[in-house]
């Protein structure tokens, strides 16, 4: 549980994907997301690059950052379930959803970086994607392991449903 929490926090505050010539918003998750949501492939800063490649890189990069944000919100609400003795079916599903979103976000961020670099945009890739991937894997593996600890007492306390 502690590894997942530390990895989630580090993935939010460490530098992530960015464009080398623009650092006004910062390079952490929120700053990079602000840039990617407002950036336009037709901007003067992207002159001389493949407009379609830049658009695809911006979209894939932002999709990764958005998946990371949703995964972090779901993970911060459910990480405690990794250490609980018994958990419910829905909180386990939230743990798994968080893990898959965090793991997929790492892949999308790196892919977005590769697309931007391939389109001719001087881009940067920080280390936050590594911690997002680690948090995602811990959450997924913990959620799969939690199947053994599912609390099914609700069903047993409702005798009218057994008939």
pLDDT at 45 (0 to 100): 80
Q: How many domains does the chain have?
A: 1
The 3-state secondary structure of 67-123 reads HHHHHHHHHHHHHHHHCCCCECHHHHHHHHHHHHHHHHHHHHHHHHHHHHHHCCCCE
pLDDT score at 149: 66
- pLDDT digit string (tens) for 13-35? 999 998 888 878 888 999 999 99
Across 44-48, 109-113, 121-125, the highest mean pLDDT is recorded for: 109-113
> What's the CA gap between 73 and 46, in Å, rounded?
32
User: What's the pLDDT tens digit per position in 61-102?
Assistant: 999 999 999 999 999 888 777 767 767 777 888 889 999 999
Q: pLDDT for 128-140, tens place per residue?
A: 999 999 999 999 9
Looking at the predicted structure, is the pLDDT value of residue 154 above 60?
no
* Structural domain boundaries enclosing 101: 2-161
């Amino acid at each position: 549980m502690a590894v997942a929490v530390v990895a989630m926090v580090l993935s939010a505050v460490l530098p992530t994907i960015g464009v080398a010539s623009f650092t006004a918003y910062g390079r952490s998750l929120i700053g990079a997301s602000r840039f990617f949501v407002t950036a336009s492939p037709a901007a003067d800063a992207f002159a001389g690059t493949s407009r379609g490649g830049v658009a695809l890189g911006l979209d894939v990069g932002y999709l990764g950052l958005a998946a990371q944000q949703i995964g972090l919100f779901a993970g911060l609400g459910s990480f405690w379930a990794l250490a609980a003795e018994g958990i419910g079916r829905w909180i386990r599903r939230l743990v798994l959803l968080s893990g898959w979103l965090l793991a997929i976000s790492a892949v999308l961020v790196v892919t977005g970086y590769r697309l931007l670099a391939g389109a001719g945009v001087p881009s940067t890739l920080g280390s936050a994607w590594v911690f997002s991937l680690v948090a995602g894997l811990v959450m997924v593996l913990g959620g799969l392991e939690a199947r053994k600890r599912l609390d099914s007492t609700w069903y047993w306390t409702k005798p009218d449903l057994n008939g």
